[in-house]
Amino acid sequence: MKILVTGGAGFIGSHLVDRLVKEGYQTVIIDDLSSGKRVNINKSAKFYKIDIVDKKIKDIFHKENFDIVFHLAAQKNVRTSIIDPIYDANINILGTLNILENCVKNKIKKFIFTSTGGAIYGDAKVMPTPESYLPQPNSPYGIAKLAIDNYLYFYKLVHKLNFVSFRLSNVYGPRQDPEGEAGVVAIFIDKILNKKTLIINGSGRQTRDYICVDDVVNVFINAINKKVCGYFNVGTSKEISVIDLYKMLAKVSRTRPKIKHGPPISGELKWSALDAKKAMKNFNWKPLISLEVGLKYTYQWFKEKYEKKSKK
């Protein structure tokens, strides 16, 4: 079976590719390395450096004849989408439609999309939030992801394209980029290792549902052979405040990092947690990695990388 992973040099994508290769799938990566990194690219996977918006993607689809497509390539920064909605829509809507059109023309068996939970549901009144909750995205990023979710319904209806859309909660783990705005875990760990002050936006009581990248990859892998279509939340159902996260990281790193409260960020979600029962049932899956274990392991990964760098 041949599998395409767009964004396969990125944080989640590269973990997915590593697993696909390990499980024996022929794996191809499309990534323009705008935020993905070359070091993350699995050597056993075939790599095309190209933007998902590029029309030449057509040639790759013709040549490779994929069975399944995982679409992870995206503009992932919520704040960027607020500043420049057209830029965001160009990649996250038009780029994705470019991939989808090619999927239809080449009769791909299944399209697996990485959507988002928090940014789609907004500050939901139901916690943890199920898929049935009426989406009300509060950023262009969330709007674009929801638009694709709606397009997927159309592609299924009209073109019979099987799809799974995973609405992810806040994913953390090794290789997450501490430079970007997304990924408070990576940002905090980076600051701890560099002995810098952690900045907490607002009170720190805002909550998120943190899930370890390995658990996300597990559900992706399980989706390959299951014959279900639809939208599935992927999260732990647990709300963790930024303050709690800070405390846990202090414990895991055995340090006492300094904190400073910054002004709250307008438009940022106050709370978020996803009800993932539907995914658990349909994909015979459950999150295995507790936050403590996941943070410990992520911290260790960053620490080793940091130590290697300082040796050089």
Partner 1 sequence: MATKKYLTEKKNVIITGGAGFIGSHLCDELIKISHVICVDDFSTSNIENINHLLQNPNFIFIKHDLTKQIDLDEYNELDKFKVKFQGIQEIYHLACPTSPKNFDKYKIKTLHTNSIGTINILELAVKHKAKFLFTSSAVIYGPRYKDSPRFQEDYQGWVNINSPRSCYDEGKRYAESAVVTYRDIYNIDAKIVRIFRTYGPRMSLFDGHMLPDFVLQALNNKPMIVYGDKNFTSTFCYVSDIINGLVRMMNSNDKGPINFGHYEEYKMMDVADRIKEKVNSQSEIVFQNPLLFMTPLGLPDITLAKQKLGWFPLVGLDEGLDKTIEDIKANQHLLDPLIHKYEEEREEEKI
Looking at the annotation, which residues are catalytic?
141
User: Binding segment for partner 1 among 43-51, 176-184, 190-198, 210-218 (CB under 8 A)?
Assistant: 210-218
Centroid of chain to Cα 127: 21
User: Which of 238, 239, 240, 234 is CA-nearest to residue 286?
Assistant: 234
CB of 297 to partner 1, least distance (A): 5
254 binds partner 1, rule: CB under 8 A: yes
Closest CB 72 distance from partner 1, rounded Å? 19
For 238, list phi and psi in degrees, rounded to 5. Answer: -100, 135
Interface region with partner 1, contact rule CB under 8 A, candidates 40-48, 87-95, 223-231, 294-302: 294-302
| 216, 184 Cβ separation under 8 angstroms | no
Q: Could you give the residue ranges of the DSSP H alpha helices within 91-212?
A: 96-105, 118-121, 140-159, 184-193
Give yes or no for residue 209 binding partner 1 (CB under 8 A): no
Under the binding rule (CB under 8 A), the answer on residue 297 touching partner 1 is yes
Query: Could you say which of 215, 275, 283, 302 contacts partner 1 (CB under 8 A)?
Result: 215
* CB 215 to partner 1: min, Å: 8
* Residue whose CB is less far from partner 1, 7 or 294: 294
Among 84, 300, 305, 306, binds partner 1 (CB under 8 A): 300
Q: Does residue 288 belong to the site contacting partner 1 (CB under 8 A)?
A: yes
Choose, by CB under 8 A, the member of 218, 233, 236, 237 that binds partner 1: 218
Within its chain, how far is the Cα of 146 from the centroid? 15
Does residue 252 contact residue 192 with C-beta atoms inside 8 Å? Answer: no
Q: Report CA-CA distances (Å) from 7 to 35, 40, 149, 277.
A: 9, 11, 18, 27
Write the secondary structure of 133-160 as one string of H (helix), E (strand) and C (coil): CCCCCCCHHHHHHHHHHHHHHHHHHHHC
Among 17, 100, 276, 289, binds partner 1 (CB under 8 A): 289
The residue ranges that bind partner 1 (CB under 8 A) are 214-215, 218, 254, 287-290, 292-294, 296-297, 300
